[in-house]
Structure 1
Amino acid sequence: MTDFPSPPAAVPSARDAVQAILNEEGLPPQFPPEVEAEVEALQRSPGLDDPTLVDLRALPFVTIDGPTSRDLDQALFIERDGDELVAHYAIADASYFVRPGSALFAEALRRGASYYVPGRVVPMLPPALSEGLISLNPDGPRRAVVFTSRLDPSGQCLGTTVRRALIQSQAKLAFGQVQEFLDRDAAGHDDPLAHRPFTGSLRLLAVVGQRRMRDQQLRQVVRYRRVEIDVRLSDGDDALMAVVASRGAVELYNEQLSLLCNSEGGLLLCRDDGGPVAQGIYRAHPSPPASRLAELEALVAELVTLHGLDDTWRWRRDDARGLSEFLMSLPTDGPHERVATAIQRQAIMTNLGASYTDAPASHHGVGARPYARFSAPMREVVGVFVHKELVEKLGLQPRQPDAQDESLRQQVIASATRARDLQGQLDGRINRLVIDRLLRPDLSLPPAARPRRLATVMGLTANKVHVQLDDPMLDMKLY
């Protein structure tokens, strides 16, 4: 009898491989029956007739997000008041629906956050809530926690008030759509968004965003030229593609409103106004230690010498030119683009990690003290909790006993930390899957026939080299 070799095992589709990773990490798409039962009850009684809500449906709020996003946490409306600007930032009122003691809160605490992988989202809350009842869709009125911030002509915040309100989003807009409107508007061309009740608000979004970004520069908040890589499924779901996800100006402007909301919310949480004390959760990010900045200074000097660069490439910690200004001066193309890219990466590596804490703390990365995560309550359990604490502190709902909240606060911090670590593990496993599927076929070729792949050396450690491939633009470690 002749023995024939076994056929090679079938390679699972990219979608199946991604689902296998989710299964191994214990992230099922289903929710427990008791959670679904609570969702059905909330749909029957969504709290839109709450007499304590401030009716802001006359304000032309809009959401601006990715074109396929369905979990819409934020809506905005900006208006002028003399020389000042008033930014109304509405956040989905998740804490009204997801309350401590409920099955919904217990499941949100177990998950900690929504998780994002190519082709799908594993939501923290059931889609009937996160994409429907709580999401700030334009198909009807929604509950929202509205942060109203008054800004002076330089972009400095003069004060913020918070209200629980009823709002009506007038449109679901995408970043690219708004960017196209602003570009055409600046050039004097007409656009479908040019004659809407919210048109003036979109124009003022650019004004607020630019003023807030300029203020960050004056405060020496470092803005890195990060290259964001988005791993996606191919059209047939059989392959993974790594593509550069560029961020346009509108996305940066919208980010400034989120940062403003989170900074002002943090201040309100910890403010000593003689009233109740909130059990706040803050995001702490310490400044880079002097030793790491000294290492960066020495590394830049070595690269300048190695590549024969002029003195404009040098950076010293005691220069009047701060790190942010130095990094922004580096070229984005030309013969030394790769050197600039490596310096940018090494500058990022000087940072320490951020963490959740129960005490107000500085956040070096955004230049705020304190800073709390208010802006994504449908995707982060910490957002649900800090919303609850703030509305209680402001007297917008009855308070829970402090001892109960203190215990819950520590559980939320632990859950949020686990969720952040788990998302990092998912990202790492997906990136390894992309690299494995890209490079494994090379192993079947003789060494001389294997393709050469261009990459940039981003850094060295004692036992490995960190490189970034050109195509796909993914990081690899060579041992």
Structure 2
Amino acid sequence: MLLHKKEILNLLAEEPEALHFASLLRAFGGRHIKNELKQIVDDLVRSGEILRLRGNRYTLPGADNSGTVQGSISIHRDGYGFVKPESGGEDIFIPGKNINNALHGDKVSVRAEKSRSQRGKLEGRVVAVLERANSRIVGRLQQSRRGATVVPEELRIGTFFTVPANAVNGAVDGQQVVIEVTAWPVGGRPPEGKVVEILGWPDDPDVEVQTVIRKFDLPHTFEPETLAEAQAIPSQVGKNDLKDRVDLRKLPTVTIDGETAKDFDDAVSIRQEGHNFRLWVSIADVSHYIEPGSMLDREAYLRGTSVYFPDRCIPMLPERLSNGICSLNPHLDRLTMTAEMLFDQQGRMLESSFYSSVIKSDARLTYTKVKQVIIDGDEKVLEEDRGLAPMLLQMKELALILQTMRRQRGSIDFDLPEPEIILGLTGQTEAIIKSERNLAHQLIEEFMLAANEAVARFVSGQEMAFIYRVHEPPDPTKLTAFRDFILPFGFTLEMQGDRVEPSAMQRLISDAEGKPEERLVNYGLLRCMKQARYAAENLKHFGLASSCYTHFTSPIRRYPDLIVHRLLRLALERKAGTLGKKGQRELDRIGSTLSEAAEHTSTRERVAMEAERDIVELKKLQFMQGRIGQEFDGFIAGVAGFGCFVELSEVFVEGLVHISTLADDLYNFDEQNHALIGRRSGRTLRIGDPVRVRVVAVNPQARRIEFVLESHSTVRRDVAAAQPAAPEEYPRIPIRGKRPVPKGAGNGNRRR
């Protein structure tokens, strides 16, 4: 009898319970086919099409009787992983020995149980891989006498791919390539692939960027149909476009952005009315040009957000739109959606209105120019625009009022430094400096936050479907651990049971300001926070202490903002009683997809952030490769059982001083106090201590810079360092490339 695997799969699909092997044997003819049946069943188990349960029973993945849960696996570079169940609930820890051929990102089926060693937390074993995350892998080709292999750029994949001689396709040793997977790992056999694209040599700046693009599977070219739609859009505002729009072209209006920005999606204007301030925030009306369901719309949704690298942008919209007709370029008519708001001297919003408008920006100002006016008092920099300086000073006054009001209600301000990558003409990294952030940046942030909140309150007040920007309260377990963590440093975090108010966190940040532990407190608190995301229900925004918040101010580069613009227009029609059947159908259509859109755009945002962080990490490594042997001043930014992490003062770079290189003494890691303490000298290595280090190695593939300690000056020896032992748990300093920040993102956490 010749068995087919389809017959076995059909039988298991019909049975409500898992079947023992003996039952399968009886169903297909008895003992004379035992060997044939066993071979087919084993193949099905290896391929993940069926599951083998205890007692030699078999079932389909995901069946109720399997005792398993499904979810995507996230694998740490050290080999262990976590699975987030699709059905919700606690993440499941997967020891390295139980990953069973799964690769990072795969959808897997896991059997979980409470762990005795992990204090009752869930621990599991991968029983089947249901869906592979990536069919293409980017990595470096390595040739040896045994043949060719590709080491993935994504370290969390954790295995190499063999490439048969006839599948190398012209690639040579050391080049960055893209392979298509032809065989997945089975048992102890590594996966295989064939080279489908040769990117080039890894030290080429453009190859670095292309590697990151492939690694994160970023859509980076537009479909011809999309470009054709963009080309068909007029490059100038026509008379018909002005119908039913409020004409603000005579209102003094400016854009304020970074020096390198090209897509200007927000413009501001202000007028003092007695003791009150009337503020206009006008945002590019992208929804006027992007029809729902068009190729432009579908591709913008697919991307979700623009991605910013140090030397380029991967835009959400074609440049003809993002840098052209949608960009609020100076001295040109541009279509906008305006939020007009009136504030009193305490920062209370007395009234607000929203409408379609047309503006003509009077000037494209930079943060540097605005700073020279509102901080340095140098009005000569605006000689060409003499009437703008008084307006900027009024903006400064209102921004400070709004900032004070936000802090009083408990909004959390993480004033954390970010790097600016300085590139040479060839694209090589020449310097990594801390980017400046001053009142000019804060001014725009305050105005964008106010507009975002005003729009959210208005639309939600119409009792219609909406997409919110939400930020849920911190994890209570992490908060409690952090409260105990900072106690030896003399800091306290006020909590009510397992809850904390945003104002309590802001007080702690203020208490630490200017002290050696300031970074420790800021980054420790940041690690307790959950990630802001988009949602179709209003879960409030903890970090901003806002009961209702959204993203409205960056529709050129964020798809959720485009959704908000469409909903705002429908809300205005609904309020005016002009919605009509067509408008109601559009509202119903958007409402039916909001949950899916919120989840998708949140995911795309996280991918963009990871890609941006990854390219800056590569630039950092590239920069330090030419500085091996040099000495730098810095400070201890983190402590772990295997050593301490040092951030350099002259360049925004972090590296590891391994405990084995501390030659003056034998150091023990005090797990209770989270400190490295010398056995003989009692010398303590703690966060914030000034140090001088020498660069001894740079490992681009491992993403690691290694230092040795040359000198160490202890600021305070009476308090042990407080740092978690695991490398993923210490308050690491996130290093990201400088990018045009979406307005209204918030202070310190730019994607709020």
Looking at structure 2, the residues matched to 30 and 467 of structure 1 have their Cα atoms a distance apart, in angstroms, of 39
Looking at structure 1, the residues matched to 614 and 318 of structure 2 have their Cα atoms a distance apart, in angstroms, of 25
Match of 1:408 among 593, 596, 617: 593
Contact 2:382 2:389 in 1 (8 A): no
Match of 1:379 among 542, 557, 560: 557
1:12 equivalent in alignment to 2:189:
no
Q: Which residue of 2 aligns with 1:315?
A: 492
1:34 equivalent in alignment to 2:225:
yes
1:271 equivalent in alignment to 2:461:
yes
Q: Which residue of 2 aligns with 1:437?
A: 622
Match of 1:361 among 528, 539, 563: 539
Opposite residue 472 of structure 1, the aligned amino acid is: V
Structure number having the greater helix percentage? 1
- 2:283 aligned counterpart, secondary structure: strand
159 and 193 in structure 1: CA distance in 2 versus 1, 3 angstrom threshold:
farther
Q: Which residue of 1 aligns with 2:611?
A: 426
71 and 195 in structure 1: CA distance in 2 versus 1, 3 angstrom threshold:
closer
Match of 1:70 among 244, 262, 276: 262
Mean Cα displacement is larger for which, 6-15 or 49-58?
6-15
Looking at structure 2, the residues matched to 113 and 284 of structure 1 have their Cα atoms a distance apart, in angstroms, of 17
RMSD: 3.0
Query: 1:289 Cα deviation (Å)?
Result: 4.0
Mean Cα displacement is larger for which, 71-80 or 342-351?
342-351
- 2:252 aligned counterpart, secondary structure: coil
1:330 equivalent in alignment to 2:508:
no
1:85 equivalent in alignment to 2:271:
no
251 and 432 in structure 1: CA distance in 2 versus 1, 3 angstrom threshold:
closer
1:155-199 deviations in whole A, cap 9, x for unaligned? Answer: 1112210010011101100011011012343x7x64425963433
Q: Which residue of 1 aligns with 2:407?
A: 217
- 1:19 aligned counterpart, secondary structure: helix
Opposite residue 439 of structure 2, the aligned amino acid is: A
1:143-166 deviations in whole A, cap 9, x for unaligned? Answer: 000000110111111221001001
438 and 322 in structure 1: CA distance in 2 versus 1, 3 angstrom threshold:
same
Contact 1:63 1:72 in 2 (8 A): yes
1:23-77 deviations in whole A, cap 9, x for unaligned? Answer: 4434354322211221222116745533111111110111000112110010000
Looking at structure 2, the residues matched to 194 and 84 of structure 1 have their Cα atoms a distance apart, in angstroms, of 28
472 and 39 in structure 1: CA distance in 2 versus 1, 3 angstrom threshold:
same
Q: Which residue of 2 aligns with 1:59?
A: 251
Opposite residue 545 of structure 2, the aligned amino acid is: G
- 1:298 aligned counterpart, secondary structure: helix
- 1:204 aligned counterpart, secondary structure: helix
Q: Which residue of 1 aligns with 2:14?
A: none
Q: Which residue of 2 aligns with 1:307?
A: none
Q: Please give the TM-score of this superposition, normalised by the length of structure 1.
A: 0.85
1:289-316 deviations in whole A, cap 9, x for unaligned? Answer: 44433323222222x2xxxxxxxx4324
Match of 1:105 among 297, 300, 304: 297
Looking at structure 1, the residues matched to 568 and 483 of structure 2 have their Cα atoms a distance apart, in angstroms, of 42
1:296 equivalent in alignment to 2:482:
yes
Opposite residue 330 of structure 1, the aligned amino acid is: A
Q: Which residue of 2 aligns with 1:348?
A: 526
Query: 1:474 Cα deviation (Å)?
Result: 3.5
Opposite residue 294 of structure 2, the aligned amino acid is: S
Unpaired runs of 5+ residues, structure 1, are 1-5, 305-312
Looking at structure 1, the residues matched to 233 and 376 of structure 2 have their Cα atoms a distance apart, in angstroms, of 43
Unpaired runs of 5+ residues, structure 2, are 1-171, 176-200, 659-726, 728-752
Q: RCO greater where, 1 or 2, for CA within 8 Å and sep 6 or more?
A: 1
Opposite residue 30 of structure 1, the aligned amino acid is: T
Query: 1:117 Cα deviation (Å)?
Result: 0.7
472 and 199 in structure 1: CA distance in 2 versus 1, 3 angstrom threshold:
closer
Looking at structure 1, the residues matched to 459 and 205 of structure 2 have their Cα atoms a distance apart, in angstroms, of 44
Query: 1:78 Cα deviation (Å)?
Result: 0.5
- 1:95 aligned counterpart, secondary structure: helix
71 and 435 in structure 1: CA distance in 2 versus 1, 3 angstrom threshold:
closer
Structure number having the greater strand percentage? 2
149 and 331 in structure 1: CA distance in 2 versus 1, 3 angstrom threshold:
closer
Contact 1:143 1:167 in 2 (8 A): yes
Contact 1:13 1:239 in 2 (8 A): no
Q: Which residue of 1 aligns with 2:161?
A: none
- 2:233 aligned counterpart, secondary structure: helix
Looking at structure 2, the residues matched to 425 and 281 of structure 1 have their Cα atoms a distance apart, in angstroms, of 23
Higher Cα radius of gyration: 2
Contact 1:15 1:233 in 2 (8 A): no
160 and 463 in structure 1: CA distance in 2 versus 1, 3 angstrom threshold:
farther
Contact 1:152 1:158 in 2 (8 A): yes
1:247 equivalent in alignment to 2:437:
yes
256 and 48 in structure 1: CA distance in 2 versus 1, 3 angstrom threshold:
farther
- 1:192 aligned counterpart, secondary structure: helix
- 1:49 aligned counterpart, secondary structure: helix
Opposite residue 172 of structure 1, the aligned amino acid is: R
Match of 1:208 among 398, 412, 415: 398
Opposite residue 583 of structure 2, the aligned amino acid is: R
**Count of aligned positions:** 449
Mean Cα displacement is larger for which, 150-159 or 293-302?
293-302
Query: 1:324 Cα deviation (Å)?
Result: 1.8
Contact 1:241 1:434 in 2 (8 A): no
Looking at structure 1, the residues matched to 384 and 346 of structure 2 have their Cα atoms a distance apart, in angstroms, of 26
Looking at structure 2, the residues matched to 44 and 180 of structure 1 have their Cα atoms a distance apart, in angstroms, of 34
